[in-house]
A and B are shown apart, each in its own frame.
Chain A
Amino acid sequence: MTRHRTIATAAVAVALLASACSQGSATRSATGEDGKVTLRYFTFSAAPDHLKDLETIEKAFEKENPKVDVVVETSPFDEYFTKLQTSIAGGTAPDTFELNYENFVTYADSGTLLDLGAAGAGDDTSVYSPASLDAFKHGGKQYALPASFSTVVLFYNKDLFDKAGVAPPTADWTWAEEQEAARKLTDKKNGVYGDFQPVTFFEFYKTLKQAGGEFLSADGKKAAFDSPQGLKAARWLVDKVGTTMPTEAEIGGTADYDTNLFKSGKLAMWHNGIWQFAGLKDVPFEWDVVVEPGDASKASAVFYNAVAASATTRHGKEAYAWARFLSASDVAATTRIASSWELPPVSDQQVLSGYLKDPKPANRQAVFDSLESIALPPVVKRQQEMQDVVTEQLGEAVAGRVAVEEALKTAAADVDALLS
């Protein structure tokens, strides 16, 4: 009988434990006992490398706004939107959260965002660069404040260029020069490649603009990339694979293959974002960056992140204050610049000049030069599907299963279907 009882006791104990642990956790109320407002902020761009920087900004904000307690929740980018959508669906949306430019329209359209223009009415927004502020207007309303941006540039390994006796890239290079240099620098026997540019939606919309084409028709209702310029852009990307760039099989599914290839000194030119600067500090060779070569014109990709507030927040004013502080305060701007945590979207050149003081890479000015002609990704309501179909069709062309023309035609038809 004792054993019998032991089992029953164990079952009861476990049940009690289970109910106890549901109470053990903090159930936070939005307004604390001392009249403090708790403001939740959900972000993907801080973790894992810039949590301390975000904390610096948060502390400075709380010092200026002693009545507000900002609670930061982070998630890796890959799962960020899964989490954000579910919490909105469940009615527990964070008061403020980060959105990237590509996803902004989907959220602005859905009615989940607070009109920050109204929440912060009367505030002077001249500190923002006008272009970045406009990027987050939708239907005439300021649904988010730009918080940071990054650009894509051409990284190059100086040592490889010197060794091969090829003149290093300059700001006025075009595709033709890049291609010629890449050919000369590719040395497959020694595992050295001339070039690396992923064949994806993000590279395609940009090279399309470089070639002088448009992704969507002027009214935004049809795909316009199935054009001579589109074909040229797609060929430019697709033809690199297997000639001056490794094939998918050679990459072998290795994670971060291109980063490691460049870091090990076996990649001459690399199309990538300025977020790579920090990781390249200690490589044992000389490297630098230039504005990406263009074709008919120059066009550089810019990735914006912004802060938005939930339409359901009870603290609209505080949410605006935090969004404003996080995106454009001096503390935020200098913290970002000091830690190379992307760039602040401010118009004050004085603040930005701090960015140029860092000695590596020498040509940091290229980052600002690239802003002179930018290419923002086309955004539609069914953004993710559009990105996926374009990337998939380009992949088919790379694998040689369909001709480039065919791939573009299919992708354009798919995108048309998504827009209708």
Chain B
Amino acid sequence: MGKAVKYAVVGLGALVMLFPFAWAVITSITPGEAVLAVPPDFTPEGASLAAYAKLLETLPFWRIVLNSLWIGVASTALQLVTSAMAAYAFARLPFPGRGALFAVYLATLMMPLPVLVVPLFIEMRMLGLVDTYFALLAPTIASAFGVFLLRQAVQQVPREFDEAAVLDGAGHFRIFAYVVLPLIRPALATFAIFGFMASWNSYLWPLIIIKSPEFMTLPLGLATLHGQFTTEWDVVMAGSVVSVVPILVLYVFAEKHVIASVAQSGLK
């Protein structure tokens, strides 16, 4: 394929990908009635940041963002640790019933959330954890998605590496920490993005478990902008734009690791 053609295809596709996001940005700086014009007006008159100011004014915005940030970071960190360890066990530590246990892990992904939130709420109530940070975090401590993603990555690590380490007298903890973890960096980085995103965008569970405004997370805050009868769309769009930023930043950092090919770190 010619280089020019390749650039044309990828570039054109990129434009299509950018479109909705650009539209959200433009809507967010378009005041009042012109909002949500169809087709979108890409040269809005009287563009202003009023919607962003309103966002700061109507919501305890920084508090909400801080809540979402720390819960996102904590849940991502927890998931990375718990998933990587389980992934190692499933890929490298044979034990009876391993396949069945892995199936149980996967099975936890197959139950739709709407039916789980009610029993989980009742359980949290019994544990006295309703309306706490811990309750927000609890369902995201472990991630079967992460275990699966990282297991696949660990399985791709050539076994000769472990064997070499074993010859050096290393145990499983050392192999895990020094051999496997560095080699699955791309998968860890990828998973960090998804883990953070899942927590950052999570809506139904926080909605149900949180009562006090001081624990409110960003999606809950943005939902309060929708009234029973009317919605200020410029403010909602401003919120949507703002909510993308942290994930985008995380993505930019993580992407470097995805690129940093393991292959370059030398094989054989």
Q: A22-B134, A92-B130, A256-B36 are in contact. Are A49 and B227 (CB under 8 A)?
A: yes
* B178, B208, B227: most-surrounded residue (chain A CB, <10 A): B227
On whether the beta carbons of A18 and B230 are closer than 8 Å, the reply is no
* B121, B226, B231: the one within 8 Å of A86 (CB): B121
* B33, B58, B74, B208: the one within 8 Å of A83 (CB): B208
Residues of A within 8 A of B212 (CB): 25-26, 73
Tell yes or no: B18 within 8 A of A by CB. Answer: no
Number of A-B residue pairs at CB separation under 8 A: 115
Q: A22-B132, A256-B36 are in contact. Are A4 and B230 (CB under 8 A)?
A: no
Tell yes or no: A14 within 8 A of B by CB. Answer: yes
On whether the beta carbons of B77 and A14 are closer than 8 Å, the reply is yes
* B74, B226, B227: the one within 8 Å of A18 (CB): B74
* A17, A24, A254: the one within 8 Å of B36 (CB): A254
On whether the beta carbons of A255 and B231 are closer than 8 Å, the reply is yes
Tell yes or no: A264 within 8 A of B by CB. Answer: yes
Minimum Cβ distance to chain A for residue B45 (Å)? 14
Q: In the complex, A22 Cα to B141 Cα: how many Å?
A: 14
Tell yes or no: A260 within 8 A of B by CB. Answer: yes
Q: In the complex, A82 Cα to B177 Cα: how many Å?
A: 44
Q: A10-B77, A17-B74, A21-B133 are in contact. Are A256 and B230 (CB under 8 A)?
A: yes
On whether the beta carbons of B33 and A18 are closer than 8 Å, the reply is no
Q: In the complex, A24 Cα to B223 Cα: how many Å?
A: 26
Minimum Cβ distance to chain B for residue A80 (Å)? 9
Minimum Cβ distance to chain A for residue B235 (Å)? 9
Residues of A within 8 A of B19 (CB): none
Tell yes or no: A271 within 8 A of B by CB. Answer: no
On whether the beta carbons of B118 and A45 are closer than 8 Å, the reply is no
- Partner-binding segment picked from A131-139, A209-217, A236-244, A272-280: A272-280
Q: In the complex, A78 Cα to B231 Cα: how many Å?
A: 12
On whether the beta carbons of A7 and B122 are closer than 8 Å, the reply is no
Residues of B within 8 A of A89 (CB): 118, 121-122
On whether the beta carbons of A90 and B122 are closer than 8 Å, the reply is yes
Tell yes or no: B53 within 8 A of A by CB. Answer: no
On whether the beta carbons of B78 and A25 are closer than 8 Å, the reply is no
Tell yes or no: A44 within 8 A of B by CB. Answer: yes
Tell yes or no: A19 within 8 A of B by CB. Answer: yes
On whether the beta carbons of B133 and A10 are closer than 8 Å, the reply is no
* A26, A83, A276: the one within 8 Å of B207 (CB): A83
Category for how many chain B residues contact A: 35 or more
On whether the beta carbons of A77 and B228 are closer than 8 Å, the reply is yes
Q: Which secondary structure dominates where chain B touches chain A? A: helix
Number of interface residues of A (CB under 8 A): 48
* A11, A73, A92, A256: the one within 8 Å of B231 (CB): A256
Please give me the residue from chain B that is nearest to A283 by CB atom: B33
Tell yes or no: A91 within 8 A of B by CB. Answer: yes
Residues of A within 8 A of B135 (CB): 22
On whether the beta carbons of A260 and B227 are closer than 8 Å, the reply is no
Within 8 A of B (CB), among A72-130: 73-79, 82-83, 86-87, 89-92
* A92, A255, A276: the one within 8 Å of B229 (CB): A276
On whether the beta carbons of A90 and B227 are closer than 8 Å, the reply is no
On whether the beta carbons of A44 and B33 are closer than 8 Å, the reply is no
Please give me the residue from chain B that is nearest to A263 by CB atom: B33
Tell yes or no: B225 within 8 A of A by CB. Answer: yes
Q: In the complex, A90 Cα to B211 Cα: how many Å?
A: 13
On whether the beta carbons of B132 and A21 are closer than 8 Å, the reply is yes
* A7, A45, A254: the one within 8 Å of B38 (CB): A254
Residues of B within 8 A of A263 (CB): 33
Minimum Cβ distance to chain A for residue B60 (Å)? 12
* B33, B223, B224: the one within 8 Å of A264 (CB): B33
On whether the beta carbons of A48 and B137 are closer than 8 Å, the reply is no
Residues of A within 8 A of B33 (CB): 260, 263-264, 283
Residues of A within 8 A of B215 (CB): 25
Query: Could you mark each residue 127-170 of chain B with 1 if its beta carbon is under 8 Å from any beta carbon of chain A, else 0?
Result: 01111111101000100000000000000000000000000000
On whether the beta carbons of A86 and B118 are closer than 8 Å, the reply is yes
Tell yes or no: A3 within 8 A of B by CB. Answer: yes
Q: In the complex, A74 Cα to B211 Cα: how many Å?
A: 8
Tell yes or no: B256 within 8 A of A by CB. Answer: no
Minimum Cβ distance to chain A for residue B177 (Å)? 5
* B36, B211, B224: the one within 8 Å of A260 (CB): B36
Within 8 A of B (CB), among A242-274: 252, 254-256, 259-260, 263-264, 273
Query: Could you mark each residue 194-232 of chain B with 1 if its beta carbon is under 8 Å from any beta carbon of chain A, else 0?
Result: 000000000000011001100100000001111111110
Residues of A within 8 A of B131 (CB): 25
On whether the beta carbons of A44 and B228 are closer than 8 Å, the reply is yes
Query: Could you mark each residue 53-79 of chain A with 1 if its beta carbon is under 8 Å from any beta carbon of chain B, else 0?
Result: 000000000000000000001111111
Given contacts A48-B58, A86-B208, A259-B230, could you give 5 more A-B pairs where the C-beta distance is less than 8 Å? Answer: A18-B134, A22-B132, A79-B207, A87-B121, A283-B33
Q: Which 3 A-B pairs have the closest CB atoms?
A: A22-B134, A21-B133, A77-B228
A-binding residues in B (CB < 8 A): 33, 35-36, 38, 58, 74, 77-78, 81, 117-118, 121-122, 124-125, 128-135, 137, 141, 173-174, 177-178, 207-208, 211-212, 215, 223-231, 233
**Cross-chain pairs A/B with CB under 8 angstroms, 17 sampled:** A7-B81, A14-B81, A22-B134, A26-B212, A48-B58, A73-B212, A76-B226, A76-B227, A77-B226, A78-B226, A79-B223, A92-B125, A256-B36, A256-B231, A264-B33, A275-B230, A283-B33
B-binding residues in A (CB < 8 A): 3-4, 7, 10-11, 14, 17-19, 21-22, 24-27, 44-45, 47-49, 73-79, 82-83, 86-87, 89-92, 252, 254-256, 259-260, 263-264, 273, 275-276, 279, 283
